[in-house]
Amino acid sequence: MLKVGFLGLTEIFMNLTIPEIDLPPMLRFAIVLSFIFIMPYLTRKLRIPSVVGFILVGVLIGPHGIGIMPKNAEVANFFAELGKLLLMFFVGLEIDLRQFKVNQRRSLVFGLTTFTLPMVAGFAVGVSFGYPFVSAALIGSLLASHTLIGYPIIRGTPLASRPAVTITVGATVLTDILSLLILAVCLTTHKTGFDPWSLIIQLAELAGFVLFMIVVLARFGRWLFDRLRQTDEACFLLMLTIVAAGSALAEAIQLEGILGAFMAGLAVNAAVRDAPAKAKLEFLGNSLFIPAFFIVTGFLIDINLFAATIWSHAAMVAAILLGLIVTKWLAAEAVGRVWGFPAIDRGLMTSLTIPQVAATLAAALVGYQALNAAGQPLIDGPMLNTVLVLVVVTSVLGPVLTERFVAVAARRQALGSTDAARRQAGEETSPPGRHSVEKPGMGNGSDIPLNP
């Protein structure tokens, strides 16, 4: 009788290879569209971000899953590349520059703080686990940015106009720009080696590129959109052209395309804010191309290898997660206390800056695919898997914390309104000659402090 131990069964299971399923291209396309259609409803029921659902779809139908999609799916890769560029274009497009200008100084201070602390922590983690300085710098930059996926929870509530929220939204401008600039420097250094003169040239090219996008393209784009505003089709095609041109221009000077797409979004931010064509492009991108990017990301994940990697690198995963959460909290606490923000506001600043989704995932994939002369990637498979864990955990944790703070603020506001109504009723029914003395800070409930 053949006896196989648990470790033997595990090894056999991990070495299983699932043959690729040969299906007609349109049937594959229909299957992918079906998952894209179903997944948002399913993730809402499960209360998890849709990005996590799409990545799981990629794991399921990809070459390491049931094999519906082949390893070299050129059409899927093109959709994913366009989705990645549109994702970064929308990141630049959705940044509220008006809020940044209103709280410019404070946004810059908080932006530098919530960028620097995670950057230092990520760099220290990378170095301590044996990564070269260049790779460690990229790891730090992956933790330094943030994605405002929790902001829609606040939008439409009284909390949206609080200074802490507007400052956090404005700080996104700085953290995203700095993270992508560090990515560009790390990529060039990794591919060609460190050379002070080459670094100076690249920094000059970066500065020139940013100025061109923000000044020249912004003015030219505004001029074009003002003349094409009445034609939605022309505006739609013009925005797509700007995305492609910005990406191609960045790649022409040895920068990454996602930096060009992000800067293109910033450049036309004000010009297309209320344009109907913007909504149409967002609909197309969010319905098809961006889900395709997350699904193709799932193609890279071998779930057996992923689990084994996370288990064998548990210390690194824990260090990255704790490093991010602790430093984002420290940044919000330090800046919030200096400015006298109550606990609710400091909590919102933390919960809004914890999620790492768009820029983090896109930059991590670029780093994983960037090879030097020896064929070594800028970040390896274990770190990419760690970043995927980071994306999943923070994309769930951030919105959950934001919902909690919004609920607490609503309860306290309701309690303050109830107390004010009771005091007013007591004053109206008090006997003549008696006057109630109103305690300081108990006027209409609007000045009740939100921190205990």
State the DSSP string of 289-341. Answer: IHHHHHHHHHHT--HHHHHHHHHHTHHHHHHHHHHHHHHHHHHHHHHHHHTT-
Tokens, residue 248: 């191609």
Q: Are 386 and 306 in contact (CB under 8 A)?
A: no
- The CA angle 87-286-288, to the nearest 5 degrees, is 105
Residue 258, classed as helix, strand or coil, is: helix
Q: What pLDDT is recorded for position 439? A: 44
What is the pLDDT confidence band of residue 14, given thresholds at 50, 70 and 90?
very low
Domains and CATH numbers, the chain: 82-290+306-413 (1.20.1530.20)
Q: What pLDDT is recorded for position 118? A: 96
Q: What pLDDT is recorded for position 432? A: 56
Q: What pLDDT is recorded for position 430? A: 55
Q: How far apart are CA 112 and CA 106, in angstroms?
A: 10
Q: What pLDDT is recorded for position 177? A: 82
Q: Are 273 and 116 in contact (CB under 8 A)?
A: no
What is the pLDDT confidence band of residue 354, given thresholds at 50, 70 and 90?
very high
Q: How far apart are CA 432 and CA 253, in angstroms?
A: 82
Q: What pLDDT is recorded for position 1? A: 41
Q: How far apart are CA 60 and CA 32, in angstroms?
A: 11
Interval 210-222 mean pLDDT: 85
What is the pLDDT confidence band of residue 101, given thresholds at 50, 70 and 90?
confident
pLDDT at residue 58 is higher than 80:
yes
Backbone phi, psi, residue 371, to 5° = -110, 145
Among 132-141, 369-378, 407-416, the range scoring the smallest mean pLDDT is: 407-416
Q: How far apart are CA 398 and CA 52, in angstroms?
A: 14
Tokens, residue 32: 């992918």
Q: What pLDDT is recorded for position 143? A: 93
Q: Are 264 and 238 in contact (CB under 8 A)?
A: no
Q: Are 378 and 135 in contact (CB under 8 A)?
A: yes
Greater pLDDT, 324 or 89:
324
pLDDT at residue 350 is higher than 90:
yes
Ranges 40-54, 108-122, 156-170, 183-197, most confident: 108-122
Helices (H), 47-162: 50-61, 74-94, 97-102, 104-128, 133-144, 151-154
- The CA angle 31-39-41, to the nearest 5 degrees, is 135
Taking each helix axis from N to C end, the angle separating 196-211 and 257-267, rounded to the nearest 10 degrees, works out to: 30
Give the dihedral of Cα atoms 322, 328, 331, 336; nearest 10 deg.
-120
Q: How far apart are CA 267 and CA 122, in angstroms?
A: 30
Tokens 């056999």 correspond to 12
Tell me the residue type at 255.
Answer: L
Q: How far apart are CA 220 and CA 76, in angstroms?
A: 33
Q: What pLDDT is recorded for position 19? A: 58
What is the pLDDT confidence band of residue 258, given thresholds at 50, 70 and 90?
confident
- CA-closest candidate to residue 352, choices 151, 211, 195: 151
Q: Are 238 and 281 in contact (CB under 8 A)?
A: no
pLDDT in tens, 129-143: 999 999 999 999 999
Q: How far apart are CA 224 and CA 246, in angstroms?
A: 16
pLDDT at residue 349 is higher than 90:
yes
Q: Are 129 and 316 in contact (CB under 8 A)?
A: yes
Q: The dihedral of CA 240, 245, 246, 248: what is its sign?
A: positive
Among 33-47, 68-82, 327-341, 420-434, the range scoring the smallest mean pLDDT is: 420-434
Interval 186-198 mean pLDDT: 82
Tokens 């089709």 correspond to 233
pLDDT at residue 399 is higher than 50:
yes
Interval 254-259 mean pLDDT: 77
Give the dihedral of Cα atoms 200, 202, 205, 211; nearest 10 deg.
-80
Q: How far apart are CA 409 and CA 165, in angstroms?
A: 13
Q: What pLDDT is recorded for position 4? A: 46
Tokens, residue 232: 């939605």
Q: Are 344 and 409 in contact (CB under 8 A)?
A: yes
Tokens, residue 177: 């720009």
- The pLDDT mean for the chain works out to 82
pLDDT at residue 72 is higher than 80:
no
Q: What pLDDT is recorded for position 257? A: 82
Q: How far apart are CA 339 and CA 333, in angstroms?
A: 10
Q: What pLDDT is recorded for position 420? A: 59
Q: Are 394 and 382 in contact (CB under 8 A)?
A: no
pLDDT at residue 105 is higher than 60:
yes
pLDDT in tens, 266-319: 888 877 877 788 888 889 888 999 899 889 888 888 888 788 888 899 999 999
